A and B are shown apart, each in its own frame.
Chain A
Amino acid sequence: MPVDYPFPVKALIQQLKRLPGIGPKSAERIAIWLMQRGCEATAPFAEALNAAGTEVSECDVCGFFATEAEGCAVCDGPGRDHAVLCVVEQPTDILPLERSGAYRGHYHSLRGKISPLENVGPEDLRIAELIGRIRDGHFAEVILAFSADVEGEATANYLVEILSAFDGVRVTRLAHGLPVGGGLENADELTLYRALEGRVGLR
């Protein structure tokens, strides 16, 4: 038998390989890097991993990341507008919207989008929770902020139909438009096409 890494190293490589975007070569490189630095590198790493795994959960209400100690930064945060709800595909979509500073309402992550070809249906998403929130809440507007691909648009269409049952709630979606700071010559034709279709009156 040729010599191989000792078991703990092999086990680490095995775990690293399971991470998204990490192949066998990268897994080996990361494992060796950690080994060579010893406890000084592995202890805080293990601690952070453990904390992330045990302390962080999905907020029952909005689907964003929450902790026992601090709750959900969105739902429990101060100064939220309780009249608007922004629906997104993934909890990570909430961060860019927050950073924009343009939105102070509540969020709802669906944890995906409808995609029959990948076997994801409405029942796999947090749609029942969404309906419950709108029924019990006082939202005047629901904003659909999905990606501009076929699945994102189909999910929006599906929700528009379902949300039409709520009379007093306005349903909107994000506009398709030109990137800020970019000249027309840098925009692709489809973006321009949609920007033209969704043009805004100035007077």
Chain B
Amino acid sequence: MRLLRAELRKLLGNPMLTGFTVWIFPVGIGAFLAIGIGLSFVLKTPGQAMALTSSGAWTTDSAGIWRAVTAFPLNILGSLLPLAFMAVAFAGEYAWGTYRNVLPRAHRVAVLAAKTTALVLVLSASFILTSILTPVGFSILRRLAGLNYGPAVTGTTISHFAISYGQEMLLGLMGLLVLAGFAALAAVLTRSILGGLLAGFGLSVLEPMSFAALVLISRVFNWPSVVELYRFTASYNLDNSRAWLLDGHAFQSPLTEITQPPALAGSLMIVALWIVVLLGTSAWLFNRQDIGE
């Protein structure tokens, strides 16, 4: 717990980093809604236009931030800031030369685990705050615009919301852990902040976009079944898990070659495997690494 506290202290003590990559989510949505509410008192049309960016349901708006890091194609952009946060946190220790103070004091694998946990905790706090601000702001904005904002708050609604929000959050946390794996691996391999950022972005974009390469290969080599490999990506399985959890059926992928989507348990296991392999490989490399900086 003390190691986790140390990592949290480092992250929260860096306002420049967390301000631009973590707290920007609640601050950004808060500012957007505040402007919308302010405009509604002066000009009706822009306020109405901003109110229409809401789904119209607080249950959906609230979970939107979690979906931003897991649902393809939104996750390609949505994961950039969390990934930047993670890449700087992992690679910064190399660039600042601080690992020479840290590593004699704690086991390397424990440091990596504490850092990953701290990163996910801080991002989760930001996402939860965003989840609260978003429906509160939209309810005011839509009321001012004369639009409905439902569903009505009843015991049943809240219990359904709690379950679906929990499921979105679970998928979001898994998505963040996959991102942490990419960031950790990129940092260990490049040992620099810029290298970690570029390699991390590269890995996190290549993974969901790998379908394009697979489709190209299938067309060039007349090998349609190769596209089915996309079933093993983390992105696809996060989408598939969400479809199973929230809609009760498998993900309807635009890739028609994927005819047999995995069941929920299979998809969750594949995502978990991605997390274990990415973080495990990072830990293995980190544990064997010479720290010369």
Do chains A and B stick together as partners? Answer: no
Residues of B within 8 A of A (CB): none
